[in-house]
Amino acid sequence: MSQAANSRQINDVSTYMQDVGRRARTASRALAAADTGAKNAALHGIADDLDAQREHLIEANRLDLEAGRAKGLDAALLDRLELDHARIDSMIDGLRQIVALPDPIGEIFDMKFRPSGIQVGRMRVPLGVVGIIYESRPNVTADAAALCLKSGNATVLRGGSEAFHSNQAIADSIRRGLDRAGLPADAVQVVATTDRAAVDLMVTMPESIDVIIPRGGKGLIERISATARVPVIKHLHGVCHVYVDDEAEPQKAFDIALNAKTQRYGTCNTMETLLVNATVADDFLPGMAAAYRDKGVELRGCTQTCRILDGNCIAATDADWDEEYLAPILSIRVVADIDEAMAHIAQHGSLHTESIVTENITKARRFLREVDASSVMVNASTRFADGFEYGLGAEIGISTDKFHARGPVGLEGLTSVKYIVLGDGHVRT
Amino acid sequence: MSQAANSRQINDVSTYMQDVGRRARTASRALAAADTGAKNAALHGIADDLDAQREHLIEANRLDLEAGRAKGLDAALLDRLELDHARIDSMIDGLRQIVALPDPIGEIFDMKFRPSGIQVGRMRVPLGVVGIIYESRPNVTADAAALCLKSGNATVLRGGSEAFHSNQAIADSIRRGLDRAGLPADAVQVVATTDRAAVDLMVTMPESIDVIIPRGGKGLIERISATARVPVIKHLHGVCHVYVDDEAEPQKAFDIALNAKTQRYGTCNTMETLLVNATVADDFLPGMAAAYRDKGVELRGCTQTCRILDGNCIAATDADWDEEYLAPILSIRVVADIDEAMAHIAQHGSLHTESIVTENITKARRFLREVDASSVMVNASTRFADGFEYGLGAEIGISTDKFHARGPVGLEGLTSVKYIVLGDGHVRT
């Protein structure tokens, strides 16, 4: 049965979600045992089906866009919601790229003989069932399903209500692709109700869902974290710093500080606060500030910064040091040394991405060792913190937690490991 | 100040625990940066101090034993509670063994150059603050503190009220050992109140405690899991199986089935249910049953088992297949084939340890791949599922969850990783 046939009002959301969970759990067993060929065939099949169904996808998307306009959604939200041929191409490309990634499942490593004679090692296995809760972009439906599928996990996807028809149309293509490859169609289920109770149920079903990955704004993620009884892979926000040391090479510091702030403003790995060593602040800041001014970046500085920049700077308030601007705004603080820089980062950072610019290897090693963040960098722009840039192939999200996956989460972050033991009739004495 | 001086009634447990948490968080930063030499010096210092304080430890333990007898604790509990010279020796040995283990912290791996020119890899780092909640054995205080210390984590320990004086005396030795090595004494704190509210507070302080490891009975662990807002590394129970395949070598099957049940009855990796292929059940079961009878093991079988054993077997009820006996009792079920065996394990297993006995490599590979458990074995006794046997050096617990650590948890399970990026002024284009 097509999921689209299900897109009516569902009266008993709790019973419906329990059924979704049970189907996912059952499908996850088949998927864990599926070989790489079958999973890749399904990914190609989904890509082919999306390609064949372009007009249908665009038609379904038109329903969402019309409803969105009627509801008065703003232009940015409508843009994120829209599916055109270029975006369908990009979904299809994404699926085929995941085919090309090595299958992490079944990898055996660390096999060692023990004095008892047994051979012990580990095998990489799927997590089981992954729940994804996301907002308006319908492409997440295909991207997230593909990463979970390749890593042997069943998926329960719950997209935003404004993308309901688009998501259901993509879900139909996914089901057909799975079915043609001989994999259970329940391996990827897109929740067919816009009732928000479905989200509350998903995050409290540990018997059916092994991990929740929320993708969306801070509000969504805070709400989910507060109620979840299932582990959540998440990052709340990105307050990233670049520290320009007194032994920084000035050109590198300039390039990195400019790139980390201005290459894109709306991303979580964008620098929000620049820390500058007091010894070099007088030399470094005026040229840097001029470059930011050319890009239209508003500067909010500490007292020393404002003195050096002499008027071309707004006085920062305490709140500025904790702010994720996601906009052409930068806070700047002059610090005495690396210790003060690291103390500022420990107090105000969001454990996301931190970078030092220095030629001094001792300070570089200290920063790498002591700064607590999902990515720590030397002489590189914070903008590199990204699954593609790190070579993971794709990312399903970024985690700033220390438990399980940390940093950009690719296929490996969607797996677990189990111990395997090979003997020859061995018993313990 | 000695923690023993704190062992009075604490009036405001909430304020006290918040203070403990804050101190732990502060100490965790120093510990994360501590080098291997300092951590090993502290471990040796604690061992030396325990050695020097033997009489004091035994005296403190006597207070606990007397209070326990007065409260009417049973003999098994009093035995677990007792500290004698042999047990103090074993604590001291345990500490020195952890000195000998390689320091996991700061290990850098997977460093690779990316097309952009940056070099990306990962560095192993501590989790931060580990909370341990445990029952009567006072040796856990030293063992758990040592593993956390070596892996760079601060620890908050909350032992059972019946071991209060013993735990506080061990805590004093730990503080002196830390202090002499120049590490913060707050790196290991033993909660100085027997108020149970302290436990409820510990598991709901994510700002101060990064992970909770409960060590004790199923009741303790269920209570903690139900209320925790902090990740918990745990296993609830161990319902482990051995499946004797029709292509098993009979002597190996006999040795493994006997060892897995009878080498020790009270451990979580003891087999609770034996699954036997129908083709070999008539040949295998009578001799096996005789061996169990010699050991005094009560047998509870399915209809076919009882028919084969002809009276030397009690009819198993449905409840038997889910029971962790922790006693000389074994349930036995005859199954048609490996599929029925794996279906039984999927339904009744506790994701702990599962073993197949077979000479057939295809079935062995299927079992390894498809059985979902923290340890999966071929031709080996389930009793091997243990940190020492696996070469981890020591274990702080066993996890049957898929998230983060799985199986026996040693030093590596107490760590996280962060991404590190080395550039030479690289920016993203």
Using pLDDT thresholds of 50, 70 and 90, give the confidence band for residue A164: very high
The first and second tokens of residue A4, run together, are 């689209």
Q: Say what the pLDDT of residue B1 is.
A: 36
Chain A's closest residue to B346, CA to CA, is A29
Chain A's closest residue to B249, CA to CA, is A425
Mean pLDDT calculated for residue range A380-401 = 93
Q: What is the pTM of this model?
A: 0.91
Per residue in B324-364, pLDDT tens? Answer: 999 999 999 999 999 999 999 999 999 999 999 999 999 99
Distance from CA of B416 to the nearest CA of A (A): 6
Q: Say what the pLDDT of residue A9 is.
A: 66
Distance from CA of B9 to the nearest CA of A (A): 33
Q: State whether A422 and B376 contact (CB < 8 Å).
A: no
Residue B255 pLDDT > 80, yes or no? yes
CB nearest B390 (choices: A384, A389, A419): A419
Chain B's closest residue to A128, CA to CA, is B402
Using pLDDT thresholds of 50, 70 and 90, give the confidence band for residue B8: very low
Using pLDDT thresholds of 50, 70 and 90, give the confidence band for residue A1: very low
Chain A's closest residue to B400, CA to CA, is A418
CA atoms of B33 and A342, how far apart (whole Å)? 13
Distance from CA of A313 to the nearest CA of B (A): 25
Q: Kindly list the residues from chain A whose CB atom is less than 8 angstroms away from the CB atom of residue B358.
A: none
Q: Say what the pLDDT of residue A218 is.
A: 84
Per residue in B278-326, pLDDT tens? Answer: 999 999 999 999 999 999 999 999 999 999 999 889 999 999 999 999 9
Distance from CA of B270 to the nearest CA of A (A): 11
Using pLDDT thresholds of 50, 70 and 90, give the confidence band for residue A6: very low
Q: Please give the single-letter amino acid code of residue B36.
A: T
Mean pLDDT calculated for residue range A200-220 = 92
Which whole-number Å values give the CA distances from B142 to B162, B217, B408, in the listed order? Answer: 17, 20, 19
Q: State whether B422 and A390 contact (CB < 8 Å).
A: no
Q: State whether B127 and A403 contact (CB < 8 Å).
A: yes
Per residue in A287-328, pLDDT tens? Answer: 999 999 999 999 999 999 999 999 889 999 999 999 999 999
Q: Where is average pLDDT lowest: A81-85, A260-264, B226-230?
A: B226-230
Distance from CA of A191 to the nearest CA of B (A): 24
Residue B7 pLDDT > 50, yes or no? no
Q: Kindly list the residues from chain B whose CB atom is less than 8 angstroms away from the CB atom of residue A393.
A: none
Which whole-number Å values give the CA distances from B167 to B130, B134, B161, B191, in the listed order? Answer: 17, 11, 9, 9
Q: Say what the pLDDT of residue A217 is.
A: 83
The first and second tokens of residue B46, run together, are 């604690």
Using an 8 Å Cβ cutoff, are B288 and B282 in contact? no
CA triple A144-A147-A150, angle to 5 deg: 145
Using pLDDT thresholds of 50, 70 and 90, give the confidence band for residue B2: very low
Q: Say what the pLDDT of residue B9 is.
A: 66
Mean pLDDT calculated for residue range A328-353 = 97
Percent of chain B whose pLDDT exceeds 70: 98
Buried/exposed code over A31-68 (b: 16+ C-beta within 10 A; e: otherwise): bbbbeeebbbbbbbbbbbbbeebeeebbebbeebbebb
Q: Kindly list the residues from chain B whose CB atom is less than 8 angstroms away from the CB atom of residue A407.
A: 418-419
CB nearest A375 (choices: B116, B391, B421): B421
DSSP secondary structure, A249-274, as one string: -HHHHHHHHHHHHHS-SSSTTSEEEE
Q: State whether A425 and B379 contact (CB < 8 Å).
A: yes
Q: State whether A210 and B403 contact (CB < 8 Å).
A: yes
Q: Please give the single-letter amino acid code of residue B134.
A: Y
Per residue in A25-80, pLDDT tens? Answer: 999 999 999 999 999 999 999 999 999 999 999 999 999 999 999 999 999 899 99
Q: State whether A383 and B427 contact (CB < 8 Å).
A: yes
Query: B118, B398, B401, B414: best mutation site toward chain A, by most A Cβ within 10 Å?
Result: B118
Chain B's closest residue to A254, CA to CA, is B425
Residue of A225, A403, A390 whose CA lies nearest to B126: A403
Q: State whether B249 and A425 contact (CB < 8 Å).
A: yes
Q: Say what the pLDDT of residue B312 is.
A: 87
Q: Kindly list the residues from chain A whose CB atom is less than 8 angstroms away from the CB atom of residue B254.
A: none
Residue A228 pLDDT > 70, yes or no? yes
Q: Kindly list the residues from chain B whose CB atom is less than 8 angstroms away from the CB atom of residue A390.
A: 114, 120, 419
Q: State whether A114 and B389 contact (CB < 8 Å).
A: yes
A vs B, Cβ pairs < 8 A, gives 219
Residue of B343, B59, B342, B3 whose CA lies nearest to B191: B3
Distance from CA of B49 to the nearest CA of A (A): 30
Q: Say what the pLDDT of residue B5 is.
A: 39
Q: Say what the pLDDT of residue A136 is.
A: 79
Q: Say what the pLDDT of residue A2 is.
A: 39
Using an 8 Å Cβ cutoff, are A214 and A200 in contact? no
Residue with the bigger pLDDT between A378 and B405: it is A378
Q: Kindly list the residues from chain A whose CB atom is less than 8 angstroms away from the CB atom of residue B251.
A: 425
Using an 8 Å Cβ cutoff, are B325 and B268 in contact? no
Residue A236 pLDDT > 90, yes or no? no
Chain B's closest residue to A374, CA to CA, is B418
Q: Which helix (H) or strand (E) holds A44?
A: helix A36-52
Residue A7 pLDDT > 60, yes or no? no
Q: State whether B417 and A404 contact (CB < 8 Å).
A: no
Pairing of strands A129-134, A211-215: parallel
Which whole-number Å values give the CA distances from A251 to A15, A164, A285, A343, B8, in the listed order? Answer: 61, 49, 12, 26, 61
Query: Which residue matches tokens 């064949």?
Result: A52
Q: Where is average pLDDT lowest: A2-6, A137-141, A214-218, A421-425?
A: A2-6
Using an 8 Å Cβ cutoff, are A282 and A422 in contact? no
Query: Which residue matches tokens 């436990």?
Result: B199
Per residue in B135-172, pLDDT tens? Answer: 878 999 999 999 999 999 999 999 999 999 999 999 99
Per residue in A121-136, pLDDT tens? Answer: 999 999 999 999 998 7
Q: State whether A374 and B112 contact (CB < 8 Å).
A: no
